[in-house]
């Protein structure tokens, strides 16, 4: 409460400058980016408070002139439908003067199953003495960037958690600065074509197969939570195509429908003028700060609510890692609690929950006269605009990494200042009703997102009223040829994979519709068991045996949410079965578009249907980053394993 709110204008990330063009196999010239990760300081807190040292993405060329374009979150990559984009991702976490590596900004738990580059402590050091006084890792930082939601991306360009690499810094053996070394070492893809790499970088190609808002973020094994928390995230827009804005019709005239004006016309390094832009991405994150402005992230279990710290050496619980983290300040596009001046008109917000653990329930309902329509989800448009005022009391629920494309109509909102609130929980989410089934976010801090300064419209709003928008048709996926039954489990065990894991994924043996079916946990290093063939369509069923909701994400595909159904979990026997007499429940109206992340509620099975397009090694996981970092992630392979 020391930090004053709504003082900083909302930052709208400009387009990421491209480095040039590259010619690809079929002769096309496509956009080529060189993007480095750097450490720098940024005024995240309001002016007058100390700046914060963060990591962020930015253009790497020419290194000196444009270094101001590094920001956390990074600038927006603007891509066009079916025009590939090539990005050279550079690990620039080195000291500008000594050329040596920079150590982590935030505590790394070396007892997890993690990237564990040289210079660290072996992650299997489970000796009581080490665990009683764990030393956080101080070596060079592994990174690898993943484009979240990229469909049909090749395995080598997906940002596999084990394909991390170190900076090309003084004293680092070149094999560790080489992309893919550990990927191949773990024999996940022995003949992996790692494409073009130079020490300290990896070059990835994105095919841009759907029209939607994606985001790029770090995915290094066992330290995604701290790398993303430190700032390694940014927005990636794919525009155009038969399912893009241009395919929208106005039901009244049959002519092209008009959405609030987009940022896409802004070329490299052109900072958008706030007044004329009415399509605004909002990356919402929770962060905590120390008194000196530095980022706070817990460095021991003592900070986890409900688990008495400090770490107790005889248990299997990792000493530094926490099962979740809920920070106390809300950051939107890189500033705490910003404000935005808007006119009495329609705006299009591209919302992203980029929090580590926090589920958000954005409550537009406390703003008088407002109307909210959702037109798209994670991976494309909905079949029809969903009137959120009617279907969900103007509330937008977003699990970590879920996106919402919404039209917010301020036309009848009184001129003045209005606050957007968050009535999601300050704790793990289990579903349910704000204020009754869970403790809502603190109304003085985490319960506040940003403020709108509503002003008189300066020009006529030419956008189509949302009720008249005819959204482009997304063809349904083919019928599935296989159903995979998967389990979400939580365990604490050191016997598993020799690391003190706390969250697992597993498989269900048998048919929970026919009676109790046993579930077994699978670990990161187990042989791949989810192995769909190229071109096939499957239903994956997530049987959630835990007490919390998990945002489940599958790489390289987009899926249809089929339905959810009540299950009975028997913890003692480790079995699961469909609840007698239960019937499948249809998705919510706002979940009907293609998605890549879905909320799997406790005591339910959540079913998604997807087609596997391209051969390669990928992962599926819970997008609570603390879970993902501790075994709630499994590799999966599309197509035959290579020898
Ligand atoms: Cu957004 Cu595998 O991640």
Ligand 1 centroid to residue 112 C-alpha, Å = 19
| Reported confidence tier of residue 545, pLDDT bands at 50, 70, 90 | very high
| Reported confidence tier of residue 322, pLDDT bands at 50, 70, 90 | confident
C-alpha–C-alpha distance, residues 385 and 377, integer Å: 11
C-alpha–C-alpha distance, residues 584 and 604, integer Å: 10
Q: Which fold has domain 482-638?
A: Immunoglobulin-like (2.60.40)
Closest atom, ligand 1, to C-alpha of 217:
1
Any idea where the domains of the chain sit in the sequence? 20-247, 279-470, 482-638
pLDDT of residue 178: 84
For residue range 242-256, what is the model confidence (pLDDT) as tens digits?
A: 999 999 999 999 999
pLDDT of residue 641: 67
Ligand 1 centroid to residue 461 C-alpha, Å = 37
- Asked if the domains 279-470 and 482-638 are classified in one and the same CATH topology, the answer is yes
pLDDT of residue 310: 45
Residue 66 has pLDDT above 80, yes or no: no
Q: Is the pLDDT higher at 190 or at 136?
A: 136
Nearest to 262 by CA among 284, 242, 235: 235
Ligand 1 centroid to residue 455 C-alpha, Å = 38
Closest atom, ligand 1, to C-alpha of 148:
1
pLDDT > 70: percent of the chain: 87
Closest atom, ligand 1, to C-alpha of 555:
2
Name, in order, each residue with C-beta under 8 angstroms of 545's C-beta and a sequence gap of 6 or more. Answer: 487, 488, 489, 490, 519, 569, 571, 576
Q: For the chain, what is the largest distance between any 2 Cα atoms, rounded to a whole number of angstroms?
A: 74
Which CA distances in Å does 272 have to 13, 262, 334, 485, 643? Answer: 8, 10, 16, 47, 50
Ligand 1 centroid to residue 148 C-alpha, Å = 5
Residue identifier of the C-alpha nearest atom 3 of ligand 1: 148
For residue range 413-466, what is the model confidence (pLDDT) as tens digits?
A: 999 999 999 999 999 999 999 989 998 999 999 999 999 999 999 888 999 999
The residue written with tokens 């996940």 in the block is 188
Tell me: cis bond preceding 73? Omega within 30 of 0 counts.
Answer: yes
pLDDT > 90: percent of the chain: 72
Closest atom, ligand 1, to C-alpha of 633:
2
Closest atom, ligand 1, to C-alpha of 161:
2
Which residues have any ligand 1 atom within 6 Å of their CB? Answer: 146, 148, 217, 219, 401, 553, 555, 619, 621, 623
Mean of pLDDT over the chain: 89
pLDDT of residue 460: 87
pLDDT of residue 314: 45
Ligand 1 centroid to residue 39 C-alpha, Å = 22
Ligand 1 centroid to residue 571 C-alpha, Å = 29
Q: Architecture of 279-470 per CATH?
A: Sandwich (2.60)
Q: Is the pLDDT higher at 632 or at 270?
A: 632
ipTM: 0.99
For residue range 510-523, what is the model confidence (pLDDT) as tens digits?
A: 999 999 999 998 88
Cβ neighbourhood burial of 563 (10 Å; 0-12, 13-18, 19+): middle
pLDDT of residue 123: 44
- Among 2.130.10.10, 3.10.129.10, 2.40.420.20, 2.60.40.420, name the CATH number for the domain at 20-247: 2.60.40.420
DSSP string, 525-558: TSPP---PPTT-EEEEEEEE-SSS-EEEEETB--
Closest atom, ligand 1, to C-alpha of 619:
2
| Reported confidence tier of residue 320, pLDDT bands at 50, 70, 90 | confident
Closest atom, ligand 1, to C-alpha of 401:
1
What strands, in cross-sheet order, belong to the sheet with 616-622? 597-600, 550-554, 616-622, 633-638
Within 344-379, strands assigned E span 346-353, 360-363, 371-377
Specify the pairing of strand 213-218 against strand 403-409.
Answer: unpaired
Q: Is the pLDDT higher at 68 or at 277?
A: 277
Name, in order, each residue with C-beta under 8 angstroms of 635's C-beta and a sequence gap of 6 or more. Answer: 188, 524, 528, 617, 618, 619
Residue 237 has pLDDT above 90, yes or no: yes
| Reported confidence tier of residue 492, pLDDT bands at 50, 70, 90 | low
Ligand 1 centroid to residue 226 C-alpha, Å = 14
Average the pLDDT over 357-381 and give the result. 97
pLDDT of residue 312: 43
Average the pLDDT over 301-316 and give the result. 52
Ligand 1 centroid to residue 292 C-alpha, Å = 31
Residue identifier of the C-alpha nearest atom 1 of ligand 1: 148
Within 423-497, strands assigned E span 448-455, 469-470, 482-493
pLDDT of residue 495: 44
Which 8-state DSSP code applies to residue 136?
P
Q: Which two tokens stand for residue 260?
A: 């609030």
Nearest to 557 by CA among 600, 607, 596: 596
Q: Is the pLDDT higher at 67 or at 397?
A: 397
Ligand 1 centroid to residue 623 C-alpha, Å = 6
Ligand 1 centroid to residue 452 C-alpha, Å = 31
Ligand 1 centroid to residue 288 C-alpha, Å = 22
For residue range 497-509, what is the model confidence (pLDDT) as tens digits?
A: 445 667 789 999 9
For residue range 89-123, what is the model confidence (pLDDT) as tens digits?
A: 999 999 988 989 999 999 888 778 888 776 544 44
pLDDT of residue 179: 82
pLDDT of residue 134: 60
C-alpha–C-alpha distance, residues 358 and 329, integer Å: 12
């Amino acid at each position: 409460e020391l930090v004053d709110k709504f003082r900083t204008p909302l930052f709208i990330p400009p387009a990421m400058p491209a480095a040039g063009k590259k010619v690809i196999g079929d002769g096309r010239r496509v956009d080529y980016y060189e993007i480095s990760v750097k450490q720098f300081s940024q005024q995240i807190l309001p002016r007058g408070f100390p700046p914060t040292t963060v990591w962020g993405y930015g253009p790497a060329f020419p290194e000196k002139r444009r270094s101001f374009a590094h920001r956390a979150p990074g600038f927006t990559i603007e891509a066009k439908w079916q025009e590939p984009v090539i990005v050279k991702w550079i690990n620039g976490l080195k000291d500008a003067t000594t050329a040596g590596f920079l150590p982590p900004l935030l505590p790394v738990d070396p007892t997890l199953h993690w990237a564990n580059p040289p210079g660290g402590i072996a992650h299997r050091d489970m000796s009581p003495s080490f665990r009683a006084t764990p030393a956080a890792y101080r070596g060079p930082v592994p990174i690898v960037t993943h484009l979240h939601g990229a469909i049909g991306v090749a395995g080598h360009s997906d940002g596999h958690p084990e394909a991390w690499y170190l900076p090309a810094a003084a004293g680092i053996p070149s094999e560790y600065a080489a992309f893919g070394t550990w990927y191949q070492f773990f024999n996940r893809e022995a003949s992996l074509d790692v494409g073009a790499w130079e020490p300290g970088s990896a070059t990835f190609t994105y095919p841009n197969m759907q029209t939607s808002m994606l985001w790029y973020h770090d995915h290094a094994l066992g330290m995604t939570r701290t790398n993303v928390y430190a700032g390694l995230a940014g927005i990636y827009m794919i525009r155009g195509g038969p399912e893009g804005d241009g395919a929208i019709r106005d039901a009244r005239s049959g002519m092209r429908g008009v959405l609030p004006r987009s940022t896409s016309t802004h070329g490299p390094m052109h900072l958008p003028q706030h007044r004329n832009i009415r399509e605004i991405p909002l990356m919402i994150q929770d962060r905590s700060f120390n008194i000196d402005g530095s980022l706070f992230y817990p460095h021991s279990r003592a900070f986890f609510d409900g688990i008495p710290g400090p770490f107790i050496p005889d248990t299997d619980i990792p000493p530094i890692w926490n099962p979740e983290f809920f920070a106390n300040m809300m950051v939107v596009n890189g500033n705490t609690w910003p404000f935005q001046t808007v006119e009495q008109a329609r705006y299009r917000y591209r919302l992203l929950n980029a929090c580590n653990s926090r589920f958000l329930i954005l409550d537009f309902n406390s703003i008088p006269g407002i109307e909210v329509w959702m037109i798209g989800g994670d991976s494309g448009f909905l079949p029809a605009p969903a009137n959120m005022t009617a279907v969900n009391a103007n509330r937008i629920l977003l699990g970590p990494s879920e996106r919402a494309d919404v039209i917010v109509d301020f036309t009848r909102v009184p001129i003045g200042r209005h606050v957007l609130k968050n009535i999601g929980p300050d704790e793990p989410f289990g579903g349910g009703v704000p204020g009754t089934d869970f403790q809502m976010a603190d109304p003085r801090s985490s319960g506040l997102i940003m403020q709108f300064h509503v002003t008189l419209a300066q020009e006529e709003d030419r956008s189509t009223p949302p009720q008249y928008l005819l959204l482009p048709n997304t063809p349904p996926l083919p019928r599935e040829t296989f159903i995979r039954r998967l389990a979400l489990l939580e365990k604490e065990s050191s016997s598993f994979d020799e690391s003190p894991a706390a969250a697992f994924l597993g498989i269900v043996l048998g048919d929970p519709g026919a009676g109790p079916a046993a579930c077994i946990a699978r670990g990161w290093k187990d042989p791949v068991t989810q192995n769909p063939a190229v071109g096939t369509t499957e239903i994956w069923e997530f049987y959630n045996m835990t007490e919390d909701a998990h945002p489940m994400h599958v790489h390289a595909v987009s899926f249809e949410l089929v339905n959810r159904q009540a299950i009975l979990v028997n913890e003692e026997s480790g079995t699961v079965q469909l609840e007698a007499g239960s019937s499948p429940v249809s998705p919510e109206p706002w979940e009907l578009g293609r998605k890549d992340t879905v909320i799997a509620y406790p005591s339910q099975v959540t079913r998604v249907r997807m087609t596997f397009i391209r051969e390669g090694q990928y992962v599926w996981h819970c997008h609570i980053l603390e879970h993902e970092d501790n075994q709630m992630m499994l590799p999966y392979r599309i197509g035959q394993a290579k020898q």
